Amino acid sequence: MSEVNTSQSNNAQHPQGNSENTAAIQNSTVPATSQQQKPRSQTWVIDDFDIGRPLGKGKFGSVFVARSKEEKVIVALKVSCL
């Protein structure tokens, strides 16, 4: 993950404070996560998942363990009977 360095200082605009705190803030880094996040798709389709074993079955459908292909996140996937 890339980081944004916040060590830029503009003493003309900001009053002098505790020099210890000011130095700590000036040398800190902030992760640049907004630049690396991909926009998420609003709708998922069954092909977006690797379906595993069944976890249970009810009146309105079955629940399976599944893993999203893109993010590799394990989820419980309910497949409704229509």
> pLDDT tens for residues 19-75?
565 555 555 555 655 566 666 656 888 899 999 999 999 989 999 999 999 889 999
Does residue 5 or residue 18 have the better pLDDT? 18
H/E run at residue 20: helix 19-26
Specify binding-site residues for ATP. 59, 78
Closest CA to 8 of 30, 39, 34: 30
C-alpha 66/C-alpha 45 separation (Å) is: 12
Same domain, 80 and 57: yes
Task: Provide the residue range defining the domain that includes 70.
Answer: 40-82
Same domain, 44 and 81: yes
Same domain, 28 and 46: no
Specify binding-site residues. 59, 78
pLDDT of residue 10: 47
- To the question of pTM greater than 0.85 for the whole model, the response is no
